């Protein structure tokens, strides 16, 4: 996996890009959480679920189907917020889908582990992209804190955080993006 920090940064950036109004900041946060969510399967990994199985790490929770389910549930929860602050349902669903699906896209650009089961449960094949510049983050928190974490964060700063900042800068500079209404 990429680290939770990188996933959350990309999700929150997508939130700001798709729902630029500051009053929608809770949805930026929600998108960040959705982007980190697929790694709940690390719990199963710790409990002995085989990595390459349906429920294994980077399996079903990293699929496009899971992203669609998270988007549907999140959009439903969004209906509970006050109408004046609620973004358009379609835009919110699109944001939550893209944020959750972005998780697998980043993982497929990492240097280690198995690939991502984008099409699970119909196809259990794991995919990587040809371009894999992001140092893989260890599943173990101890290993992350033990020194590998810094190398991972440095790699993510270059390949995830910097492009996110660039996209946010472009949004401020390009009127067509700035005017996008939530
Ligand atoms: Zn992951």
Determine the pLDDT at residue 179. 59
CA 39 to ligand 1 centroid distance, Å: 5
CA 173 to ligand 1 centroid distance, Å: 32
CA 4 to ligand 1 centroid distance, Å: 8
CA 74 to ligand 1 centroid distance, Å: 19
Q: What is the pTM of this model?
A: 0.90
Determine the pLDDT at residue 83. 86
Tens digit of each residue's pLDDT, the chain (182 residues): 678 999 999 999 999 999 999 999 999 999 999 999 999 999 998 899 999 999 999 999 999 999 999 999 999 999 998 888 899 999 999 999 999 999 999 999 999 889 999 999 999 999 999 999 998 988 878 777 877 888 889 999 999 999 999 999 999 988 766 655 54
Tell me the residues surrounding ligand 1 (ion) with CB < 5 Å.
1, 39, 107
d(CA 77, CA 32): 16
d(CA 56, CA 59): 5
CA 59 to ligand 1 centroid distance, Å: 9
């Amino acid at each position: 996996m990429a680290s939770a920090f990188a996933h959350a940064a990309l999700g929150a950036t997508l939130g700001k890009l798709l729902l630029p109004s500051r009053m929608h900041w809770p949805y930026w946060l929600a998108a960040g959480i959705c982007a980190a969510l697929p790694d709940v399967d690390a719990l199963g990994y710790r409990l002995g679920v085989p990595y390459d199985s349906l429920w294994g790490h980077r399996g079903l929770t990293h699929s496009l189907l899971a992203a669609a389910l998270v988007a549907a549930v999140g959009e439903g929860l969004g209906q509970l917020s006050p109408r004046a602050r609620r973004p358009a349902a379609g835009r919110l669903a699109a944001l939550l889908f893209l944020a959750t699906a972005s998780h697998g896209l980043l993982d497929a650009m990492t240097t280690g582990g198995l690939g991502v089961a984008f099409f699970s449960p119909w196809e259990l094949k794991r995919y990587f992209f040809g371009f894999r510049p992001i140092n893989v983050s260890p599943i173990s928190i101890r290993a992350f804190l033990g020194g590998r974490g810094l190398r991972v964060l440095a790699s993510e700063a270059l390949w995830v955080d910097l492009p996110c900042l660039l996209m946010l800068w472009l949004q401020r500079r390009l009127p067509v993006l700035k005017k996008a209404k939530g």
